Chains A and B, each alone.
Chain A
Amino acid sequence: MSLEAQGLCKRFGPLLAVDHVSFSVADGGSLGLVGESGSGKTTIARIVAGLERADGGSVRVDGTDRGVHVRGRAARLARARQVQMVFQDPYLSLDPRLTTVETLTEVIALHDGGTRVARRERVDELLDQVGLGDREAAALPRQLSGGQRQRVAIARALAARPRLLILDEAVAALDVSIQAQILNLLADIRTQTGIGYLFVSHDLAVVRYVTDHVAVMYRGRVVERGQTAAVLAAPRHPYTQLLLASVPRPGWDPTAVAQARRALQANNASEEPS
């Protein structure tokens, strides 16, 4: 299966947050959607997930339009099995009253039904897949660390057996040592299950480790796209170049970056006086 987004538009008041954005994710592929705050990347993620309605354009999964309003349980579940989502903040993305097992069981009961034993087996399978043990299985979210919560959130998303997983800044709130664990986990899951990723991030270095293709967003538009390695090695659009130059490293010259940013902004301001 594949995801096709065509000419997506979304306006919030006077702000055109998403401006004719198109992209596709191949079956089992992984697309990085990169940009800074306000670039429209999270809005796109929410549109694809069905949490937000686009003002224009379409999102198709294997040819079926996700923009159509669905009624009824079967249609809802079918949509849920197309796309699932993992959110940025591990502290707010789990119901605080439910243990890990309860959280997962509820989703499995909805999608698989099955006997208690079968559900429990599936829970164990998922816990195993994301690397959580018995202690974490019985714990409430507040008893878990940020990294563990994010593993629970990933397991919950996988419970519906989706074909595509949207990861919205899914590692941004984690400490570096934990972030690496989750990034590796995500790579493993993709290898094992053949699931596709739409990986939304502000961090080019992180995107490099989980995506094959990347689309760079700036002010609601995609300004550059291509294979991740190629874009990172030889960025063509000045904004992509700025983004890459902004990442600190030894020998880094913040003054030059600041100048480049001002130049880009001045350039943009002269193009569209708003």
Chain B
Amino acid sequence: MNVLEVDGLTVVLPGGSHRPLVDGIALRIGAGEVVGLVGESGSGKSVTARSALGLFPARSRVTGSVRVAGTEVVGLAGEALRRLRAEQAAMIFQDPRASINPLRRVGDFLTEAVRTNRGWARARSRDRVVELLGEVGIADPGAAMRRYPHQFSGGMLQRVMIAAALAVDPMLLLADEPTTALDVSTQAEIVAILLRLQAERGMGMLFVTHDLELAASICHRIAVMYAGRIVEEQPADRLFRAPRHPYTQGLLAATPTLPSATGGAVQASGRLVPISGRPLSLTDTPPGCAFAPRCPRAIALCTATAPDLHSSGAERVACHRADESVGAGG
């Protein structure tokens, strides 16, 4: 069963002069599956992830369908939307320090959801949360619950966020850049905790990140976004070895790597291969492929019409020239 099914999701801001924040997104996540959503800032990956909780930008126009464990989210409101957020899906955000009310104790934050939404008694919710804090590796959970957020490090707060998300036993976990604000060695710990808990509970997880290598090393499948659209989707290892879309290829070639990595993106001179130009702003609305202005392989067709997302087997690519050459471009 799919815990998340997104079809033709388009989110348009009021005002009209902007391109859609996301345009025709289609995405599936099965139970127990980890799917990566990769893109640079402004690509629409956060908007996509938030749509699963019905967190759309104020006054935006939303079309398409987002189903979480079978429940349609688009158009859902009031008590039903609240129940979906309280029971089916939970989210972990980039900056844990901004995500937790700084004026209340960590324990209040952790127990709030089960106490208000499930009506659990104080003792019961406390026991539950203590158990979860142990699972995310916080020593002395009882003491931790009495402290305030500013007394924790960022890595510890992100563990608190994870425990809070799991308190409601969600089927779908949305992780929006959960390690971006953390140190690299802390990132490993948080990722390890997330993956262990996800596997133990058989949750579906959407892992949003700008780091293609991180996504490739922990996800089953990866979707790459550019300017509000998914441009490519493949199983993680295949995407990393044989990217089909020029943007994915460019991203891999532009990413600095360590010598032990087998990516092979580094040329003999030790230089990176950057993608020329700069990302589209929200006000740019080219008629053709959004990546065409930066694409080394663009032809006239690319600037005239936007390519559809073609699927064949486990992979999907939106590029007019995807079939011409597989692998490294140019």
Contact = CB atoms under 8 A, between A and B. Distances in A.
CB–CB under 8 A between A and B in the complex? yes
Contacts of A178: 274, 278
Q: Counting chain B CB atoms within 10 Å of each CB, which of A36, A254, A257 scores highest?
A: A254
A229 interface: yes
Given A176-B251, A248-B217, A258-B192, A208 B258 contact: yes
B279 A254 contact: no
Interface stretch (A112-120, A156-164, A197-205): A197-205
Contacts of A209: 256, 270-272
Interface string B262-295: 1100000011111110110000000000000010
Contacts of B254: 176-177, 179-180
Nearest to A239: B185
Given A177-B251, A257-B192, A202 B183 contact: yes
A1 interface: no
Interface of A: 36-37, 145, 147-148, 175-181, 183-184, 187, 202-206, 208-209, 229, 232-233, 242-252, 254-255, 257-258, 261
The bracket for how many chain B residues form the interface is 35 or more
Contacts of B183: 36-37, 202
A247 B278 CA distance: 26
Interface in B226-254: 236-237, 240, 250-251, 253-254
A181 B218 CA distance: 27
Contacts of B237: 250
B256 A206 contact: yes
12 contacts: A179-B254, A180-B272, A181-B274, A184-B271, A208-B256, A247-B184, A248-B191, A250-B216, A250-B236, A255-B195, A258-B189, A261-B186
Given A176-B254, A254-B195, A261 B273 contact: no
Contacts of B258: 204-205, 208, 232, 244, 247, 249
Contact of B259 (A175, A208, A245, A248): A208
